[in-house]
Homo-oligomer: A and B are copies of this chain.
Amino acid sequence: MKYRKSKQRNKILEILKNTNTHPTVDWIYDKLKKDFPKLSIGNVYRNLNILVEQKLVRRMDFGSTFDRFDAVRAPHYHFICEQCGAVIDLDLSYDDKLNQKAMDSSGCKVHDHKIQFYGLCDKCKNKLQQHQQQ
């Protein structure tokens, strides 16, 4: 599919490249609205879908009712805080052997995998400790 340039779409990609918080559509919309006051939320959805199709952006799905997005980089795993919902990139190296293991055990053709870790992020961990000491 061939697309024309769009200032809005360019800016969305730029915003995503400069963020590591895996933002939601609403967050992106609010941020972009400063540059395009008439911006509609539908257009943010439309452009995010195009960017995903172009493989410049990845749609992420961590079990919430809404999606999150980030600019595509090297494959990595994620941590999700069960308290505040924050999504944090992990510095663990991507385990290529896992795909082969899954392939051997299932007979399916496996070409990728995702890992999500769950628990409490640093902030929430500390808040909880303070709470318990009171």
Question: Which A residues are within 8 Å of any B CB, using their own CB?
Answer: 59, 61-63, 77, 79, 81, 88, 90-92, 98-99, 101-103, 105-122, 125
In the assembly, what is the distance between CA of A102 and CA of B61, in Å?
Answer: 19
Residue from B59, B102, B108 within 8 A of A120 (CB atoms): B108
Residue from B88, B106, B117 within 8 A of A112 (CB atoms): B117
A sample of 17 cross-chain residue pairs with beta-carbon separation below 8 angstroms, ordered by A number, consists of: A59-B63, A79-B102, A79-B106, A79-B110, A81-B108, A88-B106, A88-B108, A98-B115, A102-B117, A103-B119, A107-B122, A108-B117, A108-B121, A112-B118, A112-B119, A113-B115, A113-B117
CB pair A79–B91 under 8 Å, yes or no, is no
